[in-house]
Structure 1
Amino acid sequence: MAKSKFTECMDDIKTVSKAENKGQKLLIPASASLYIPGKIVDNKKFMVDIGTGYYVEKSADAAVSFYQKKVDKLNKESVQIQDIIKEKTQYSMSIELQIRQAAIKQHEAMSKQQQQQKKEASAA
């Protein structure tokens, strides 16, 4: 979800920063359901949310680079998490196999013990 949000930001920056969009009218979201009419004055500078409510003014290229780094970081972390999940799944399967083998051995030992008790009971 975050990755698609950052990718969308990059696409929006690339679109707005085109020369033909300078002076373009647009609607600016003031809340989830309230928009205010506005006009692009400088389409080469953007306010970028760098986290925890802090915004920094960046050029179009710097803003795209910022979001690209975020996407790259998310991709890297996603691969790391997938690797961890694979490793944990393998451990889980290995433990499950050992438990099954121990249960089979225990069942076999109990069967042998019951057969031996039957033989001893019939011999007595």
Structure 2
Amino acid sequence: MASGNSETINLDTLSAQQLSQVKKQLDEELEHLTSSFTQLHAAQSKFRDCLRCVQDKNKSPALRENNSILVPLTNSLYVRGTLSDASHVVVDIGTGFYVEKDIKSAAAFYENKVGELGASIKDLEAIVQGKTNNLRVVEEGIINSMRS
């Protein structure tokens, strides 16, 4: 059994109790990785929404001419607003920092973020698959040790 940079463990040399501990550790790791996977997907979805909004603002003549917008105060509460400069937007770059960017730069920023998160999700999928395979092998080892 091996995953990534982890060491190889010969399951035949482990007792049933040790196998149970390894299984518990793998279960916890999988739970954490699955949670991270979900969070990455949510973040990617938010960046895609931001990208779509920036692209829609740039494409729609009605939106370019009419600078009225709805500003979200909470997930379900919006207030009317007016854009003072429709060619620039404020972009949340993380940890509470915002920068003003033109529409093209904002779209490039969001495209880059979606791509980075996509790569991270792909890497994480491979890790989760490896851990899942390791868990399956450990579970088989537990079943075999019970039969002996």
TM-score (norm 1): 0.72
Structure with the greater relative contact order (CA < 8 A, sep ≥ 6): 1 or 2? 2
Native 8 Å contact 2:67 2:84 kept in 1: no
**1:116 alignment counterpart:** none
1:12-27 to 2 correspondences below 5 Å: 12-18=53-59, 20=61, 21-27=63-69
Change in Cα spacing, 1:65 to 1:25, as seen in structure 2 (3 Å) is closer
CA distance in 1, matches of 2:108, 2:53: 13
Q: How does 1:36-55 map to 2 (within 5 A)?
A: 36-38=80-82, 40-55=83-98
Q: How many residues align?
A: 104
Residue of structure 2 in register with 1:85 after alignment: 128
Deviation per CA, 1:5-52: give whole Å up to 9, x if none: 1111111111222472334142342622241342x4432211111112
User: Does residue 1:8 correspond to 2:49, yes or no?
Assistant: yes
Q: Corresponding residue for 1:115? A: none
Q: Sort the Cα spacing of 1:60 and 1:37 in 2 relative to 1 into closer, same or farther, 3 A.
A: closer
Structure 1 stretches of 5 or more lacking a match? Answer: 106-124
Identity of aligned residues (%): 27
Instruction: Return closer, same or farther for 1:23/1:68 CA change in 2, 3 Å cut-off.
Output: same
Moved over 6 A (4+): none
TM-score (norm 2): 0.61
Query: Which residue of structure 2 aligns with residue 35 of structure 1?
Result: 79
Q: Kindly report the root-mean-square deviation, in angstroms, between the aligned alpha carbons of the 2 structures.
A: 2.0
**Highest CA radius of gyration, 1 or 2?**
1
